[in-house]
Structure 1
């Protein structure tokens, strides 16, 4: 925010009375903006930063956003109220700008909540770790948001196959990737390499129940979760292929809010289904509610035209019952079949024809005469004795794919954790069979699948066995011992999950890499410190190497260091983390040549290769 204000001061300081004593004359500037004065518009539009943030292209014409510019100029720096337009309100409103106009009778609505107009980084390295998050307002602090979301550098590159770990020297651009780091920052980095390429995004995010891994922020826990999701989903949408789909697994705690948010971000017409997955039996006995045995999966496509392969199943109880009741006929070769009507339920004047003495049904046939002859030649027609009756199609049981899958999935169960058939990594929160169905529905071999809450690695393991490309992202420290190791086992030909179903024999490769830390290195050390002496030693290192908030005065703090030592370890840790510049937690790719970051020549070369920059 301060950097952008300084840039505006530099831009306007030679204009009459717009800058006084090196401070913005806000009233004068806002008056000129509201009048759309040509001299001001000319100055702003020639500056790339202000052009990006305060002009929108409408039918090849740049239009000045004077409302957002007014908010920016009027911002009271560093006051909490300046960071969100929505304050302490949550509910349905007519639009984002009229936050006091809550819904009454209008049809077009959006969900508003505290900090909706902000970017929440959501940093976490341990499951039990909480921290107070920074909310960067998209209008009031655009330079901070830009810096936060700038493509990051990676390090610790490794390539894995069934023979183990190998050194990587360059990227071809089609690698399977497992990336460690804050998923917001990884996603924004992937925009540089995979924008519009991802055919399927599947995520099983934290459900924000208080008992899961969503440990972010403070009293706005519910609102923080919505901001957390919105930030990531906006980038995810840009990563999606035009014919791509996104599936989000959720429970009933945030389900309704997520649905409204997804309608806003992806548009209601691109909502495909709310899938209900029966994932457990009824053994639990909650005290004051019915036992919940399902999760929900919200499915949206990026556009109305999308790739879809209708799935069928013969394993669920309903289909087995259907087979038993319908496949009651046997032909001369002993093959079971069922009869399926060929008359059209609706008038089909273009399909009115007699066939072998059988008259056209009232509404016509449901297939062409050419198809009728084809099925007849293949022995797939059943002719009744009475010519007044209708011809039927024979559907043979040995060629039957099953019933089309509905939005109620009762046939995919989480395998008992004590069962020998589970395999070391099968199951967890979801079985490979669940991901197999989703991947099969909307992708083809070679398509990209993305999961940015990779967890135990089920999505990537399943995609690997199905010959899809994949990217998995996880920021928690279990990424190498669990999902990475799981996919190493997949390359070796593991027998868990869908391996038998797809005849998996092993093979393939993937690349592992981590976001290159800078201030995050100090965050980790502070969190791991056990004594006050450790913390003071870290502070000594921070003074020489860390990026510290420009609002913080090191000299004043050092003069009070003895008083600082009297605080509790927890208070000392919290304070040192607070003074770190949160926009320097990781090294930006654009700054890897800066000697301050001490990036190795090997990492530089691999980052240039990853981002395909010669």
Structure 2
């Protein structure tokens, strides 16, 4: 059995007391430990709290009479020992309980009773695979994961099989270095995001997420190839964990766009407000998904989904903007200074702006232009002459070709250029998303042109991502999509000369996602290619998180008979697989009650006992020669390059 980092550290401290807490070399006297903890035995408490990991995990500072006091969360620490007995004595007590508890412990542990519903952390929610799908890359993990159990889960992981694709190497070539290139990662997206944290925190300009939708019931035409029908609380927690790390990756003026269905949009809005804060909410954008359907609930065809937009920036920042091609005039009175017309009135009335209540007279012709009482001049009477002399005001009777009957503000091209300010994004942007120009059928047709429809359903159209990137990014900005799917986001980013990161854990990353990007490099002409005059080119690096227990998880999930399952478990035991520190797997397998369980229940149980910290090899594991022997020289060099040649 493999202990968690907390338990391993605690045992090393307890061993300093000789035989006090161990009956032999490795058998811990749990009752003795709990007894001395309950008694706050001074030497024991001093030794434990002197350890930084235990101190940081199990102490909390509170203020009493303006003085800071540290409190040791004894009950939480003791749980690490009490639950050990439950897991070893009866595997049925692995299961989450809903019921009567006191102090976080169920009534079979204490007499003080309250009604409690344990929080499902669902930190993994790994593969999101449909229950009946046998070729899934990861099982759907649904269990309580305590803080002490996830101390290593989110550490940076080892990458393997790093392969670079470019126009000269469309079939890929192994690479031993990483130069901040476009990156595609195969693996659990939460774990992969934490592996990106050190390199990419604060660097991502745009995050687009087509998240698993929350449906009240299974809807065939909307279903992804992974499980999109979550229990409500699990769905929210699944997204919460990922949005929290996504927030850290956003650049100072970056934005995150979350595509979501009607069923889940309002719940996700509340969750996202709690993560990004409501002050960072930019807006809700409707996107038309289809052109109507007659067989619908309540006889109303809901033909839109929604995009929630949040930012890391401030309200006055240009989070969105677009380049507008303006028409400039060239006239003899302003040589070499092209200019354009703009409105010279204010929305305020002359009562509100009495200093702008005057008849504006053209100094050249003497023609007067009375003020509109409902829209005063934008220029006050006492500043008119200054504006005029600087060329800021023009009159229609100055030019024979000029149309219109009102004075105008003159803005020079060099003034526009000096501002370096993008134009605001108006409602015509929304119309492109809501008038059917980005419906699902368009995305389906684009996939049909690249692959067989059976390879991937309901990809978003390239036009949707193109419109979003136009108003949120410029060339070379970083774009992230960690629900990558068929790689629409990455394909558009490549065609628009943006840098990108994509993460996907399903096996189709190799047959669909990577293959699509290879076609883009080769110059495919679907989607937005003609609009941007795409001629091919670009490159990306593909890498995989190095599987550890993850491989065993897949083997368990794919076992079709009890014999196959037993073979996998025996192989795990013989191969030194990492189990949860609270479980004696060999004892469980010998239990008559376990032997009487159905195959499905046995599989679910074995998935629970695997140590989720060890799904993939941690980068720190490269200190171990045994781990290095599993890697190529190229793999080792790539990881050192990716993580900045830091010491292991």
TM-score, structure 1 as length reference: 0.75
- Do 2:393 and 2:410's aligned partners in 1 also have CA atoms closer than 8 Å? no
Describe how 1:133-532 pairs up with structure 2 within 5 A: 133-138=142-147, 141=148, 144-163=149-168, 164-209=170-215, 210-211=218-219, 212-213=223-224, 221-304=231-314, 306-311=317-322, 341-346=343-348, 354-356=361-363, 357=366, 358-359=368-369, 361=371, 363-365=376-378, 369=388, 370=390, 372=392, 382=402, 384=404, 390-391=407-408, 404-405=427-428, 407=430, 409-411=433-435, 412-414=437-439, 415-416=441-442, 423-424=449-450, 428-532=458-562
Change in 2 beyond 3 A, CA 1:350/1:82: farther
Write the deviation string for residues 494-525 of structure 1: whole angstroms up to 9, x where unpaired: 11111111111111100111111111111222
Match of 2:32?
21
Q: Tell me, in whole angstroms, the C-alpha distance in 2 between the residues paired with 1:419 and 1:82.
A: 45
Q: Tell me, in whole angstroms, the C-alpha distance in 2 between the residues paired with 1:168 and 1:427.
A: 31
Change in 2 beyond 3 A, CA 1:126/1:6: closer
**Please, which moves more after superposition, 466-475 or 2-11?**
2-11
Q: Alignment length, in residue pairs?
A: 545
Write the deviation string for residues 110-138 of structure 1: whole angstroms up to 9, x where unpaired: xx99626x352111174445644233234
Offset of residue 52 of structure 1: 6.3
- State the secondary structure of the residue aligned to 1:160: strand
Offset of residue 288 of structure 1: 3.0
Unaligned runs of 5+ in 1: 33-38, 89-111, 315-337, 395-399
Offset of residue 160 of structure 1: 0.8
Offset of residue 344 of structure 1: 1.7
Write the deviation string for residues 222-262 of structure 1: whole angstroms up to 9, x where unpaired: 10011100000111111111211111000111111111111
Match of 1:115?
119
Offset of residue 468 of structure 1: 0.7
Match of 1:610?
642
Offset of residue 404 of structure 1: 4.7
Match of 1:582?
612
- Do 2:394 and 2:410's aligned partners in 1 also have CA atoms closer than 8 Å? no
Change in 2 beyond 3 A, CA 1:472/1:371: farther
Match of 1:107?
none
**Please, which moves more after superposition, 62-71 or 170-179?**
62-71
Offset of residue 3 of structure 1: 4.9
Cα RMSD between the aligned structures?
4.7
Offset of residue 473 of structure 1: 0.6
- Do 1:349 and 1:364's aligned partners in 2 also have CA atoms closer than 8 Å? no
- State the secondary structure of the residue aligned to 2:262: coil
Offset of residue 265 of structure 1: 0.6
Q: Tell me, in whole angstroms, the C-alpha distance in 1 between the residues paired with 2:625 and 2:204.
A: 35
Which residue of 626, 630, 633 maps to 1:599?
630
**Please, which moves more after superposition, 463-472 or 354-363?**
354-363
Write the deviation string for residues 157-212 of structure 1: whole angstroms up to 9, x where unpaired: 11111231333433343210111111110011110221111111110110122443
Specify the structure having the higher radius of gyration (Cα).
2
Match of 2:587?
556
Which structure is higher in RCO with an 8 Å CA cutoff and minimum separation 6? 2
TM-score, structure 2 as length reference: 0.71
- State the secondary structure of the residue aligned to 1:482: helix
Q: Tell me, in whole angstroms, the C-alpha distance in 1 between the residues paired with 2:206 and 2:444.
A: 32
Q: Tell me, in whole angstroms, the C-alpha distance in 2 between the residues paired with 1:568 and 1:297.
A: 43
Q: Tell me, in whole angstroms, the C-alpha distance in 1 between the residues paired with 2:51 and 2:397.
A: 73
Offset of residue 608 of structure 1: 1.3
- State the secondary structure of the residue aligned to 1:285: coil
Change in 2 beyond 3 A, CA 1:608/1:384: closer
